[in-house]
Amino acid sequence: MVLNSYSYEVSHRNIKYPRVELKTGRLLIVLPLGYNSDILYENHKSWIFKKISFIEGCLDSAKNKELVERSDEEFKRLIYKVAKEASLDLKVKINKVYFRKMRTKWASLSSLKNLTANKFMKYLPEYLIEYIIFHELVHIIEKKHNNQFWGIISRKYNGYQKLERELFEYWFKVSKIIRNQT
C-alpha cells in the first residue's frame, strides 16, 4: 500500500491501539483486530506523519551515535551496580537480575520483581543504562505508563523525553547487531 509517497504494510494484531513500526526499515502500520484500514488515513493522517517524522529523525540521528565497547563481564557489573543504586533511590527491592538477548526492548521487570536486561544494552552509554534500569524499577511502584509513573521518572530525570528519544536512536543503531545475532 502507498500512503502519499510512503510504501507501507498493514498488520492486524490483538492489540488495543494502532501503532507505527519501522524496526526493519520498512513502514508497518499495526492495527487492532477488526480495525478498518480504509479509514486509517483520514482518521489518523496527522498521527501517522508525526510518527513517520519521528522515526525518520531518529534514523538520521542514529548515524552519529557511537556504540560503547564493554565486555559482558563489565556490563554485568555495571547492571548490578546501577540496579542497586536505583533500588536504594526508589526504596524498592528487586528479586533477581537476568541477562538475555531481546529483540524488542531494552529491559523488562516481571511481576516477581525480576529484572531482565537486554544484553545489547552493553553498547549504550552508562547514563542511558542508568535511565533504563531506573525506568524498569519504577514499575515496582507503578505498573502502567501513566501520569503517576512519569511523575516518578521526572523527579530524577526531568528531561526524560530526550532520553526516551535517544533510546530510539540507539535502538536503530544497535538493531543491526541484533539482527545479526538473533
pLDDT one-digit tens code per residue, 52-63:
788 788 888 888
Least trusted range by pLDDT, from 4-8, 74-78, 95-99 = 4-8
pLDDT at 1 over 60: no
| Confidence band, pLDDT 50/70/90 cuts, at residue 2 | very low
The percent of residues above 90 in pLDDT, for the chain, comes to 57
Within the chain, what is the greatest distance between any pair of CA atoms? 51
pLDDT at 77 over 80: yes
Q: Which three cell numbers stand for residue 84?
A: 542497586
Q: Give the integer Cα–Cα distance in Å for 91 and 143.
A: 16
3 state SS for 34-59? CCCHHHHHHHHHHHHHHHHHHHHHHH
pLDDT at 22 over 70: no
pTM of the model: 0.79
Question: Quick check: 128 and 163 in contact, CB under 8 A?
Answer: yes
Q: Which three cell numbers stand for residue 105?
A: 526492548
pLDDT digits (tens, 9 = 90+) for 114-149: 999 999 999 999 999 999 999 999 999 999 999 999
Amino acid at 158: N
* Burial environment of residue 90 by CB neighbours within 10 A (0 to 12, 13 to 18, 19 or more): middle
Nearest Cα residue to 143 out of 105, 109, 98? 109
Q: Give the integer Cα–Cα distance in Å for 129 and 135.
A: 10
Indicate the SS3 state at residue 91. coil
91's torsion region: left (phi>0), alpha (psi -120 to 50) or beta? left
| Confidence band, pLDDT 50/70/90 cuts, at residue 42 | low
**Residue 75 to residues 95, 100, 130, 138, 157: CA-CA distances in angstroms?**
19, 12, 12, 21, 22
pLDDT of amino acid 173: 85
Give all domains of the chain, ordered by start, each with its CATH number: 2-62 (no CATH), 72-181 (3.30.2010.10)
pLDDT at 103 over 90: no
pLDDT of amino acid 7: 67
Dihedral over Cα of 102, 103, 107, 109: its sign:
negative
Select, from the ranges 1-15, 51-65, 66-80, the one with the highest average predicted confidence (pLDDT): 66-80
